[in-house]
Amino acid sequence: MDRLEALSRAECLELLSRGSLGRVAFTERALPAIRPLNYALVGNHLVLRTEADGLGRRLDGQIVAFEVDEIDAEQQTGWSVVVTGSARLLRNPGDLVRAEPVPLVPLAGNGHDACVYVIPGDITGRRIRPAYDAA
């Protein structure tokens, strides 16, 4: 029995709306890189919290992937959602109003007060269903 179940776009957005921490995958010096970031779902878009002069600047204009998951190792169940889209560092004060749901104090600490807006292209997800004992 296949335990993987594809999630609908609506299910993916619902799961994304519950979280606040995920991982962004991007290209850095022609190599793949992954960093954990605070995020918020604003409408159907993601707002990532980071530092403007560091990661924010590197993400600006890139196509990125952002992944959020929840795994229960004991029950061997869980889910994963991946958003692929274009990233843009927010620079205008009007843009930042839309970013209000992002936690004011990011987990990474002070200095991570910039926001990167991700306009989704693809949103995909998978759920790992529980294994059923046939006995």
CATH number at residue 42: 2.30.110.10
| Top mean-pLDDT range of 52-61, 69-78, 79-88, 108-117 | 79-88
- Determine the pLDDT at residue 30: 92
- Kindly state whether residue 133 falls inside one of the protein's structural domains: no
Give residue 39's domain range: 4-128
- Kindly state whether residue 134 falls inside one of the protein's structural domains: no
The residue assigned the tokens 């989704």 is: 120
- The strand pair at 45-50 and 21-28 is best described as unpaired
- Determine the pLDDT at residue 49: 84
Round to whole Å and give the CA distance between 118 and 40. 10
pTM: 0.82
- Kindly state whether residue 80 falls inside one of the protein's structural domains: yes
- Kindly state whether residue 135 falls inside one of the protein's structural domains: no
Q: How confident is the model at residue 54 (pLDDT cuts 50, 70, 90)?
A: confident
The residue assigned the tokens 């958003």 is: 83
Q: At a CB cut-off of 8 Å and minimum separation 6, what does 109 contact?
A: none
Per the structure, the count of domains in the chain is 1
| Amino acid found at 11 | E
Round to whole Å and give the CA distance between 6 and 131. 16
**Cross-strand partners of 127:** 5, 79
